[in-house]
Amino acid sequence: MADRVDLYYLPASHYCVSAERMLSYKGVRARRIYAPYHDRQELLRRTGQDYVPTLIWNGTAVTWSKIPAFLDRVRPEPTLVPRREAGVARTLENWGHQVLEERVWRAVVTQMRSKFRTEEERWVFEEMQTRARGPWHVLEARRPEFVKDLGEYFGMVDAMVRGRDWILDAPSVADFGIYGGLSPWWTAGNPLPRKYPALRSWVDRVAAL
């Protein structure tokens, strides 16, 4: 019997994008279920919590931080966490989500409002982001500054993948974490700058997995 796999997903979420790429790399077909920013009642009923991404594998709920290890257990090959470079891979994955993504997010947050499905969802998104980050008009006014600052981080990733296909010897959580951290940039509708050709080629490779 085939495994039944559901992925509660929000396109704006960098963790969700990473999880989707990991599943694709593993050859796992998952049913993606949209989890609205403002309404996680279905997810709460099924799992007792409301964080996305949440993977439900044959009735077992797996929350975002545990997805890589879970996938390597149920589908050992190809591996997400290389044994000899596990520390490096996990550290780079964490950097992608905790450091890189924050630089990307503040550059796109005011663009992202239009990417939600309903006016109610968009209103809640803006309200919550305003509470966390300050007045919306200030975020919009500072966007050119944030975009300029982001160039340094594009350059870092470009340097990581220059002359190589993957960040480590093969695709790993390092690639998927950093790809996820970058993903709000193109989810918001922005092209990657042409001045970073290695970065652009690497993004295309991860997207094709």
pLDDT 10s digits, 57-66: 999 999 999 9
pLDDT surpassing 80 at residue 1: no
Q: Which helix (H) or strand (E) holds 197?
A: helix 197-208
pLDDT tens, residue by residue, 85-104: 999 999 999 999 999 999 99
Amino acid 45 reads: R
Predicted confidence at residue 116, as pLDDT, reads 96
**Domain ends where: 15, 43, 74?**
74
Cα separation, 209 vs 26, whole angstroms:
9
pTM summary value: 0.97
77: left (phi over 0), alpha (psi -120 to 50) or beta: beta
Mean pLDDT, rounded, for 107-120: 96
Q: Are residues 95 and 68 in the same domain?
A: no
* pLDDT band with cut points at 50, 70 and 90 for residue 183: very high
Percentage of residues of the chain with pLDDT beyond 90: 98
Question: Do 112 and 35 belong together in one domain?
Answer: no
Please state the domain count of the chain: 2
d(CA 206, CA 177): 11
Cβ atoms of 8 and 52 closer than 8 Å: yes
Q: Is residue 209 part of a domain?
A: no
Check pLDDT > 90 for residue 106.
yes
pLDDT mean across residues, the chain? 97
Domain that holds residue 14: 5-74
